[in-house]
Amino acid sequence: MKERINKLREKVAEVGLDGFLVSCPVEDTFRTHAANRRYLSGFTGSMGTLLITPERAFIAADFRYYEQAERESPDFILWKANGGVDKWFAELIGEAGLEGKTIGFSPGDYSVAGYNALTKVIENLPADRRPKLKAAPPIVEQIRAFKEPEEVDALQRAVDLGDQAFVHVAQHVEPGWTEKQVAWEIEKYARENGAEALSFNTIVAGGPWGAMPHAQPRERSIETGEPIVIDMGVILDGYCSDLTRTIVVGEANEEFKRIYDIVLTAQLTAEELVEQGMTGDAAHMLAHNVIEEAGYGDKFGHGLGHGVGIQVHELPRLSRTAPDVLEDGMVFTVEPGIYIPGWGGIRIEDMAVMEKGKARILTTAPKTQPSEW
């Protein structure tokens, strides 16, 4: 963690800040919102605040987490923070030597209510002791976009387990299973084989339902020959996977094969041609151009991909409007799709890591149909 803290300190100094706050906009009971805090400190509790200065790093936690914070965050000084911020924040500012200085924070780490609470504490200080709170660029998020080798290894393990869960279910699903049954079988397999949780609620969308990219599973039976979009992911060792495959139970018809081939060609083209230094919008267009040339450009309305790490959606972004520059060490998805109202959808998604200027694909789940396995 010390290396990550030092990287943050460098970035904080570059933007002219004297200290940096890292927190979470809500109590993170389900471990889905406090990625910045966990990344820098290792702390997995539901509430806590980091305050990092050029010389010291504090973790403010309440009574529930004293022992956990000391165990999980040995590089941080424990600050016992019981009650609201009005009870402890002013004293922490003084101890950290930040009175009258500028403290930055990631806007995504604070709700309006949280920000207002901090501001109220500061306003109650004497004028010469009041620090200035300043919304900073997404510094922690930008650091997180570059994965350390150990993180890539953890991501690969999560990908492997997700791939195995998909294969298991795709080999067993049959007409009459409901979409919810498919989703449950995926979760059951993943958890029985070591997953801490799912990256998100599994999407299973059969037939016309698949025309909605984020459709949720229903108590509807799967029918022979219809496309079924399965978008799923697992969390293992704190890291997420993200996988989408579109399958058919039984034999696929010619229309499915034709559209599926367009999406697969778009995906393979992007995976082959994406390279270091390319912007997210340029990467998106590698796939979009293939789909557009096939006559379905208006049926691919979302971005090509996104970063994956502690969170299933993080930097970098690959979309029509994304200026993010892709660089070695970044892990991201490649997931083009075609969605036709009244018919259904097809999406194929892999995870990749940029290495030596090119994308190395982490996903191994088959892209052929289960009937061909």
Residue-wise pLDDT for 143-155, tens only, equals 999 999 999 999 9
Percent of the chain surpassing pLDDT 70: 100
Domain shared by 73 and 174, yes or no: no
**30 pLDDT more than 90:** no
Cis peptide before 316 (omega within 30 of 0): yes
In this predicted model, what pLDDT tens digit does every residue of 69-85 receive, in sequence order?
A: 999 999 999 999 999 99
Domain shared by 325 and 364, yes or no: yes
- Residue type at position 151: E
Residue at a domain's end among 93, 110, 144:
144
**207 pLDDT more than 90:** yes
- Whether 166 contacts 186, CB under 8 Å: yes
How far apart are the C-alpha atoms of 319 and 282, rounded to whole Å?
Answer: 8
**Which tokens hold the place of 201?**
């609620």
Q: Measure the N-to-C terminal CA separation of the chain; round to a whole number of Å.
A: 44
E runs forming strands in 136-273: 197-198, 203-206, 227-232, 234-236, 239-240, 243-248
Domain shared by 134 and 188, yes or no: no
**137 pLDDT more than 90:** yes
Which pairing describes strands 243-248 and 337-340: parallel, antiparallel, or unpaired? unpaired
What average pLDDT does this structure show over 60-77?
98
**32 pLDDT more than 90:** no
CATH code of the domain containing 50 = 3.40.350.10
In this predicted model, what pLDDT tens digit does every residue of 98-118 receive, in sequence order?
A: 999 999 999 999 999 999 999
Confidence of residue 315 (pLDDT cuts 50, 70, 90): very high
CATH code of the domain containing 295 = 3.90.230.10
- Whether 9 contacts 16, CB under 8 Å: no
How far apart are the C-alpha atoms of 169 and 161, rounded to whole Å?
Answer: 12
Residue at a domain's end among 97, 116, 144:
144
Give, as one character, the DSSP assignment of residue 81: -
The pLDDT of residue 373 is 86
In this predicted model, what pLDDT tens digit does every residue of 267-312 receive, in sequence order?
A: 999 999 999 999 999 999 999 999 999 999 999 999 999 999 999 9
Domain shared by 79 and 184, yes or no: no
Question: 0.85 cut: is pTM over it?
Answer: yes
Domain shared by 66 and 204, yes or no: no
| SS3 of residue 269 by DSSP | helix
**Sheet containing 227-232: which strands, arranged edge to edge?**
203-206, 227-232, 243-248
Domain shared by 22 and 158, yes or no: no
Q: What is the CA radius of gyration of the chain?
A: 23
In this predicted model, what pLDDT tens digit does every residue of 217-230 receive, in sequence order?
A: 999 999 999 999 99
The pLDDT of residue 290 is 98
Please give the residue range of the domain that contains residue 265: 149-372
Q: How many domains does the chain have?
A: 2
**364 pLDDT more than 90:** yes
How far apart are the C-alpha atoms of 165 and 157, rounded to whole Å?
Answer: 12
With residue 59 as reference, give the H or E element that holds it: strand 57-61
**Which tokens hold the place of 354?**
């940029």
Confidence of residue 31 (pLDDT cuts 50, 70, 90): confident
Domain shared by 178 and 137, yes or no: no
| SS3 of residue 164 by DSSP | helix
Domain shared by 68 and 182, yes or no: no
Give, as one character, the DSSP assignment of residue 80: E
How far apart are the C-alpha atoms of 265 and 293, rounded to whole Å?
Answer: 12
CA 179 centroid distance within chain: 24
Indicate the length of the chain as a whole number: 373
How far apart are the C-alpha atoms of 4 and 215, rounded to whole Å?
Answer: 37
Domain shared by 282 and 170, yes or no: yes
How far apart are the C-alpha atoms of 21 and 104, rounded to whole Å?
Answer: 6
Domain shared by 128 and 261, yes or no: no
Domain shared by 193 and 323, yes or no: yes
Domain shared by 237 and 127, yes or no: no
Residue at a domain's end among 80, 112, 144:
144
